[in-house]
């Protein structure tokens, strides 16, 4: 049942909550940091349970927002001061590696 939060989903959501404002991780970054799953599994967790966490901080490797959420994502990035170029986060400066700032 998709409403039951799995232990993996809890770990994904916990990490997403720790991404600092103005920073981003790719779906693959999240999976790599956790040492489990992959980009698609992270995306699935966020699509099912991610409404209560800063989902806009988890994006595609090329810096683009999740499909269908571009406007909301860009608005939040601008509010948080996320480095952007056009409609993409600048991964070279915005990417967070999981270490405390």
Q: What is the CA radius of gyration of the chain?
A: 13
Provide mean pLDDT across the span 47-64. 96
pLDDT band at residue 3 using 50, 70 and 90 as cut-offs: low
Any domain includes 32: yes
In this predicted model, what pLDDT tens digit does every residue of 65-90 receive, in sequence order? 999 999 999 999 999 999 999 999 99
Greater confidence (95 vs 99) lies with 95
Write down the residue that tokens 């409404």 correspond to. 51
Any domain includes 100: no
Domain range for 39: 7-94
Q: Answer yes or no: are the C-beta atoms of 77 and 86 closer than 8 Å.
A: no
Instruction: State yes or no: pLDDT of 9 exceeds 70.
Output: yes
Predicted structure pTM score: 0.93
Distance of CA 89 to the CA centre of its chain: 12
Any domain includes 99: no
Provide mean pLDDT across the span 15-41. 97
CATH number at residue 43: 1.10.10.10
User: What's the domain count of the chain?
Assistant: 1
Residue 51: how many other CB atoms lie within 10 Å: 8
Any domain includes 60: yes
Any domain includes 1: no
93: tokens are 């400066």
Query: In percent, how much of the chain has pLDDT > 70?
Result: 97
């Amino acid at each position: 049942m998709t409403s039951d939060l799995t232990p993996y989903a809890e770990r994904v959501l916990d990490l997403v909550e720790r991404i600092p404002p103005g920073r981003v991780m790719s779906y693959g970054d999240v999976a790599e940091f956790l040492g489990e799953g992959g980009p698609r599994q992270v995306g699935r967790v966020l699509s099912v349970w991610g409404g209560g966490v800063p989902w806009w901080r988890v994006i595609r490797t090329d810096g683009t927002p999740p499909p269908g959420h571009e406007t909301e994502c860009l608005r939040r990035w601008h509010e948080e001061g996320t480095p952007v170029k056009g409609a993409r986060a600048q991964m070279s400066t915005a990417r967070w590696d999981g270490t405390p700032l």
